[in-house]
């Protein structure tokens, strides 16, 4: 009932204000809406061109690992990542590995950059970043630390290429330094060997008699 009364009121208002019947009024509104849509589509600015996805440059392939053989700790420091033209190396338990492929971790600015160019066995076992632990000395480590170091070694063996070994210096007697235990042992044995004693030559009795006869002959002539 209320809806019918509202509709009658609306028809009378349309007729009074527009002079159109309700059907003609709504038809005119629909045509005006369609016309507005067409006109706005003609004069609207064109959509922006679709951007092509940016192609990221391909990463340069890593050079093949270079086998170094046996190097000392000073030579190993040259491969700490400060020279981008050299491979990035790191050692565990005296074994050197090429970690260039993980430069984001072991290169300059990486979380483990302090380990690069060194034998970091002690630091890895203790998970320490202290300078005094950045070496290959594993003496005094506990069983849990040795297990942690073993896990690190297995990880490096499975992921990275071994390229050499660290030449260790051994302290011999009297403070002498050798680069290998064999050399140190040989030097120690040489130092312990007693020097050969110099014995005077024994003179035979015949030589004494000959010298006495020559002296007598010389005195007789004089």
How far is it, in rounded angstroms, from Cα 168 to Cα 91? 12
Please state the separation of Cα 81 from the chain's center in Å: 8
At 177 the three-state DSSP class reads strand
In this prediction, residue 206 carries a pLDDT of 62
How far is it, in rounded angstroms, from Cα 186 to Cα 168? 16
In this prediction, residue 190 carries a pLDDT of 47
How far is it, in rounded angstroms, from Cα 157 to Cα 8? 91
| Burial class (CB within 10 angstroms; exposed 0-12, middle 13-18, buried 19+) of 17 | exposed
In this prediction, residue 142 carries a pLDDT of 93
pTM: 0.53
Helix (H) or strand (E) holding 19: none
How far is it, in rounded angstroms, from Cα 180 to Cα 200? 41
In this prediction, residue 154 carries a pLDDT of 95
What residue ranges do the domains of the chain occupy?
1-43, 70-166
How far is it, in rounded angstroms, from Cα 190 to Cα 89? 37
pLDDT tens sequence for the chain (222 residues): 676 776 677 677 767 777 667 777 778 777 778 777 777 777 667 777 777 666 665 656 767 877 888 999 999 999 999 998 899 999 999 999 999 999 999 999 999 999 999 999 999 999 999 999 999 999 999 999 999 999 999 999 999 999 999 987 644 444 444 444 444 444 445 455 454 444 555 545 565 556 566 656 555 555
Rounded to the nearest 5 degrees, what angle is found at the Cα of 116, between the Cα atoms of 156 and 170?
90
Helix (H) or strand (E) holding 76: helix 73-76
In this prediction, residue 51 carries a pLDDT of 73
> DSSP characters for 92-161?
ETTEEEE-GGGHHHHSTTSTTGGGTTSB-HHHHHHT---GGG-SS--TT--HHHHHHHHHHHHHHHHHSE
In this prediction, residue 16 carries a pLDDT of 73
In this prediction, residue 218 carries a pLDDT of 54
> DSSP characters for 44-75?
SPPPPPPPPPPPPPPPPPPPPPPP-EEEEHHH
* CATH among 3.10.120.10, 3.40.190.10, 3.20.20.70, 2.40.50.1020 for 70-166: 3.10.120.10
């Amino acid at each position: 009932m209320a809806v019918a009364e509202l509709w009658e009121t609306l028809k009378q208002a349309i007729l009074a204000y527009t002079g159109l019947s309700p059907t003609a009024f709504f038809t005119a509104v629909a045509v005006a809406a369609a016309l507005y849509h067409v006109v706005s589509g003609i004069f609207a600015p064109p959509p922006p061109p679709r951007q092509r996805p940016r192609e990221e440059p391909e990463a340069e392939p890593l050079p093949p690992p270079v086998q170094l053989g046996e190097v000392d700790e000073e030579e190993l420091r040259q491969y700490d990542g400060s020279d981008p033209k050299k491979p990035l190396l790191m050692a565990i338990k005296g074994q050197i590995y090429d970690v260039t492929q993980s430069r984001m971790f072991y290169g300059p600015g990486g979380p483990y950059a302090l380990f690069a160019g060194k034998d970091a066995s002690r630091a890895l076992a203790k998970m320490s970043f202290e300078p005094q632990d950045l070496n290959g000395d594993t003496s005094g480590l506990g069983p849990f630390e040795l297990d942690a170091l073993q896990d690190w070694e297995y990880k490096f063996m499975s992921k990275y290429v071994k390229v050499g070994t660290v030449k260790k210096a051994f302290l011999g007697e009297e403070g002498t330094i050798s680069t290998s235990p064999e050399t140190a042992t040989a030097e120690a044995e040489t130092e312990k060997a007693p020097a050969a004693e110099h014995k005077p030559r024994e003179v035979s009795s015949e030589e004494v008699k000959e010298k006495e006869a020559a002296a007598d002959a010389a005195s007789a002539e004089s």
